């Protein structure tokens, strides 16, 4: 993998990732942008009752919203139209978000573009490109986690207007949080209590129990297992675990890294076959990595993939019990969801 670093017109960093070591990406950003002024406009506040961190980022109201395809800011630049990516072509590109939720002293937000093809999706990538995306996620996780003040790095993809995506181009995001996120904080507390009570690792036991039971397994490889969790919150939700527990993407072994593209693409293609619809299935795909500091030894890297679609013509909206009390009610039995995902094999 070759990584090339450059700067956009307002000073933000852009990185190109290429499989070809000879790729040249020295293309200047010719747009008349002033210096980025978002670093001081984000604020982290703490909820006094729950203890959760909440980011206030009012400048994001002005971010780009559903532009037409010929004005997409994530497509390569062309003659007469400069985008966020100055190069006329790329394989994988990562750049600092122009409208970040976190910036400066409050962290960093990056956009990762999986392909220059506006009309495709991650599920349609080949294994070589998926491996390059994994390499980029890994590189960014290692570099960002080393920054002063960063506590946790989160790589994720939102796909589909139903999820709230405002740019249709195949892309994801990478957040470097200055705090440990509420969900991870709860996981760490539960895992620590289980270790104190039993002397065992809870992540290891969950994976072992799912593999032994088998009824919720969707895909099982030599180094990865994907399963619908026993208490799934979403109609179709899959967790993907490496068989050897590691805290984060940089710690993944070579064998697991090599097998990941095949398994992950298989999962995404199964999601697209769930419903008899011309539009692809909306989803959120989220890497859960250990934060810096305490708890890394017991944390298990894993990916969580879920859709808000529950049938071909119905979406799963968060009801009052879920939005108001975080008490989830699932309309689809996890075992039935797993059976359906097994039935729509991608090959």
Q: Is residue 155 a known part of a binding site? A: no
Given the residues 171, 223, 239, 243, the one annotated as active site: 171
All structural domains of the chain, each given as residue ranges with its CATH number in brackets, are: 2-35+65-180 (3.30.428.10), 183-343 (3.30.428.10)
Q: Can you tell me the distance from the alpha carbon of 337 to that of 7, in angstroms, rounded to the nearest whole number?
A: 45
pTM for the structure as a whole: 0.96
- Tell me the C-alpha to C-alpha distance, in Å, between residue 121 and each of 76, 106, 225, 280: 16, 31, 23, 9
Among candidates 112, 111, 116, 64, which has minimal Cα distance to 87? 116
Task: Tell me the per-residue pLDDT of 27-62, one tens digit each, with 9 for 90 and over.
Answer: 899 999 877 655 557 899 999 999 999 999 888 877
Task: Tell me the per-residue pLDDT of 52-99, one tens digit each, with 9 for 90 and over.
Answer: 999 998 888 777 778 898 899 999 999 989 999 999 999 999 999 999
Q: Which two tokens stand for residue 157?
A: 């993809």
Q: Which two tokens stand for residue 299?
A: 């944390």
Which residues are CB-contacts of 26 (< 8 A; sequence separation ≥ 6)?
4, 6
Residue 40's pLDDT is what?
A: 56
| The dihedral formed by the CA atoms of 257, 85, 3 and 177, expressed in degrees to the nearest 10 | -60
Q: Does 194 participate in catalysis according to the annotation? A: no
What percent of the chain shows pLDDT beyond 90? 86
End-to-end Cα separation, the chain, in angstroms: 29
Predicted confidence band at 23 (pLDDT cuts at 50, 70, 90)?
A: confident
Q: Is residue 118 a known part of a binding site? A: yes
Q: Can you tell me the distance from the alpha carbon of 329 to that of 141, in angstroms, rounded to the nearest whole number?
A: 33
Task: Tell me the per-residue pLDDT of 301-321, one tens digit each, with 9 for 90 and over.
Answer: 999 999 999 999 999 999 999
């Amino acid at each position: 993998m070759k990584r090339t670093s450059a700067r956009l017109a307002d000073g933000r960093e852009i990185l190109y990732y290429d499989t070809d070591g000879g790729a040249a990406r020295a293309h200047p950003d010719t747009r008349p942008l002033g210096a980025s002024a978002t670093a001081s406009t984000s604020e982290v506040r703490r909820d006094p009752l729950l203890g959760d961190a909440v980011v206030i980022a009012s400048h994001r109201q002005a971010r780009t919203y559903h532009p037409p395809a010929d004005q997409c800011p994530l497509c390569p630049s062309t003659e007469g139209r400069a985008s966020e990516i100055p190069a006329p072509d790329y394989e994988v590109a990562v750049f600092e978000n122009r409208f970040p939720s976190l910036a400066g002293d409050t962290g960093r937000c990056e956009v990762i573009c999986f392909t220059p093809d506006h009309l495709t999706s991650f599920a349609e990538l080949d294994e070589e490109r998926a491996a390059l995306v994994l390499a980029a996620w890994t590189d960014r996780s290692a570099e960002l986690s080393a920054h002063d003040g960063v506590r946790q790095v989160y790589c994720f993809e939102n796909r589909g207007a139903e999820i709230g995506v405002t740019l249709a181009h195949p892309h994801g995001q990478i957040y470097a949080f200055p705090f440990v996120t509420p969900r991870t904080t709860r996981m760490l507390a539960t895992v620590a209590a289980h270790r104190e009570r039993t002397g065992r690792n809870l992540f290891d036991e969950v994976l072992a129990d799912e593999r032994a039971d088998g009824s919720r397994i969707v895909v099982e490889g030599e180094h990865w297992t994907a399963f619908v969790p026993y208490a799934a919150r979403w109609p179709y939700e899959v967790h993907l675990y490496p068989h050897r527990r590691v805290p984060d993407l940089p710690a993944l072994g070579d064998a697991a890294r090599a097998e990941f593209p095949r398994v992950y693409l298989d999962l995404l293609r199964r999601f697209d076959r769930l419903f008899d619809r011309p539009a692809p299935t909306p989803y959120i795909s989220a890497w859960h990595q250990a934060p810096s500091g305490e708890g890394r030894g017991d944390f298990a890297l894993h990916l969580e993939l879920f859709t808000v679609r529950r049938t071909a013509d119905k979406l799963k909206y968060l009801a009052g019990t879920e939005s108001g009390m975080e008490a989830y009610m699932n309309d689809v039995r996890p075992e039935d969801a797993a059976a359906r995902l097994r039935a729509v094999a991608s090959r």
